[in-house]
Amino acid sequence: MKLLTCVSAFGLLLAANAALAADPNLGRNLAATCANCHGTNGKSLPGSGIDSLAGVPKANTLQKLADYRSGARTATIMHQIVKGYSDEQLDLIATYFAAQK
Amino acid sequence: MLMKRRDFLKAGAAAGALASLYGCAGATKASGHVVVVGGGYGGATVAKYLRMWSEGSVQVTLVERNANFVSCPISNLVIGGSKTLADITVSYDNLKSKWGIRVIQDEVGAVDSAKRSITLKSGGSLSYDRLVLSPGVDFLWDEIPALKSADAQAKILHAWKAGPQTVALRQQLEAMKDGGVYALAIPKAPYRCPPGPYERASLVADYFKHHKPRSKVVILDANEEIVSKKPLFTKAWSELYPGIIEYRNNAEVKDVDVASKTAILEFDKFKADVLNVVPPQRAGSIAAQSGLKLVNTRWVDINWLSMESTNTPGIHVLGDAVFLAPGMPKSGHMANQHGKLAAAAILNQLAGLEPNPAPVLMNTCYSFVDSKNVIHVSSVHQYDTATRTVQPVKGAGGVSAVRNEAEGTIALSWAQNIWADMLA
């Protein structure tokens, strides 16, 4: 199971960006930068009013992030934060959260 | 997308080589003992994440002098009167019972980086494979000589480390007569929590406005101008607290007269009813005592790929104690991010691998301008191989458009979630 996770992470990394393919835990590490507000592994506290990201399908998270970036979706802060990450990084983050149960 | 069998095999071989390089095939797994000194935003985070990410294969001991975690962020609401100390206090119990971290309530006596061991003040020693120091800041009392004694420090408070001083400052404000003056001295940057003093001035003004309307807040700022979120603070003060807050720039407090609660500036004196002096700061003294290289004699010089001291391999430093990268604040949020960067790097190093070459950090600081309305500042920082440091991403981050209650709610949620991220 562990090996499978690793192999699929590699596949994604190799496909996404060779330059970023250095650390197999890159998605985990990047997603951890969201955890201050969105909770460890994307599980925010129930009722805290901040979205949980764990288990959200990747496409949904990526669409939401794209809408923050374009301004199609208004935000207090996410429109500023999303611009700090590359598309490849956002892809890794959304993939990591989608895999969290 | 169709791959010829030959190419597929080649790709598979490459992935296999990488997998073994990074230990995915199970050839190498991080193991060893990490000692963490300081259980604040940095130290608690690195302790939990080392245990979580290693799935328990790395042993972690946390040495912390206090029995419980008390948060500096949100502590200005205790001073303003809308929160209590209990609201900003969190137990270390989950780190022990849920994450299997050995938590020792003690202080470090000395670090022997050659032998990789530390001694504890109560006696005994601990050996480590990697040491993480997250000591926060110490105050430079020499720069305000009359405040060197414990007796003086009990009268002229800093309340810049949350805990008993936070409660004591609230009590001084409650005891002050209406028509009195609260003076807040701010040291030259860099200091812990850049917007913190301006938030504190706002919340004390909010308290005066509702309970002691003839009273005043005077800010004695050693800096040339407001260090963080200047337009938003200035607007809040003129609209919410006209005639209550007076701001003085280039007003560095050089000393005090404790008995008369007088701040002594270079060419001037200022007498207050409640005098609150935030002293100049440097990395917690354990950093210098351990022989770590400091910048400007104050802050620890680190490698941003691993948070490791540049002159002492095996010792990682987090949070307010480090010499910061460009545009990076000394904040609890940032210390938590340092903790995760260090945890990832340490686990790679304990498995015989290089740290992640592309770390990312981000920051958010919420400041209350009254008990409900909040303004934020945010930033994202990416590692830059050319300058070998993390650099703020241009075009990302920013501040609130206007102060607003929605972010007041979010700021309190932020606190609950980050405390859980560190300690639950």
Contacts of B395 (CB under 8 A, 6+ apart): A83
Residue range B260-284, pLDDT digits in tens: 999 999 999 999 999 999 999 999 9
Choose from B49, B362, B364, B390 for mutation: most chain A CBs within 10 A: B362
Selected for mutation to probe chain B from A13, A33, A70, A87 (highest B CB count within 10 Å) is A33
Sheet containing strand B130-133, strands side by side: B102-105, B58-64, B32-37, B130-133, B315-317, B308-309, B302-303
Interface membership of B416 toward A (CB under 8 Å): yes
B231 φ/ψ sector (left φ>0, alpha ψ -120 to 50, else beta): alpha
Closest CA to B279 of B192, B204, B186: B186
> CB neighbours of B355 closer than 8 A, spacing ≥ 6?
B305, B306, B344, B345, B348, B349
Q: Please report the DSSP string for B156-207 in residue order.
A: SB---SSSHHHHHHHHHHHHSPTT-EEEEEEPSSS-SSTTHHHHHHHHHHHH
Phi, psi of A38 (to 5 degrees): -90, 5
3-state SS class at B398: strand
CA B106 to chain centre: 20
Predicted local distance difference test score (pLDDT) of residue B424: 98
CA A10 from centre of chain? 16
Split at pLDDT 50, 70, 90, the class of B21 is very low
Do A33 and B337 meet the contact criterion of CB atoms below 8 Å apart? Answer: yes
Partners of B376 in the beta sheet?
Answer: B366
Residues A61-70 pLDDT 10s: 999 999 999 9
**Among B375, B362, B365, which Cα is nearest to B401's?**
B375
Domains of chain A: 28-98 (1.10.760.10)
Share of chain B above pLDDT 70, in %: 93
According to DSSP, the β-strands at B398-399 and B269-271 are unpaired
Q: Confidence class of residue B26 from pLDDT cuts 50, 70 and 90?
A: very low
pLDDT band, very low/low/confident/very high, at A19 (cuts 50, 70, 90): very low
The per-residue pLDDT for B29 is: 85
**Residue B22 pLDDT:** 47
The pLDDT assigned to B293 comes to: 98
* Interfacial A residues in 17-56 facing B (CB < 8 Å): 20-26, 28-30, 32-33, 35-40, 44-45, 48-50
Q: Which residue of B has its CA nearest to A13?
A: B15
* Residues B30 and B54: beta-carbon distance below 8 Å: yes
Place of tokens 């949020």: B333
Nearest-angstrom CA–CA distance, B365 and B396: 15
Class of domain B146-281: alpha beta
Q: What angle do CA B242, B245, B251 make, to 5 degrees?
A: 140
HSE-CB at B68 with a 13 A cutoff on CA atoms is 14
Sequence ranges of the domains in chain B: 146-281
Closest Cα to residue B204, out of B240, B228, B234? Answer: B240
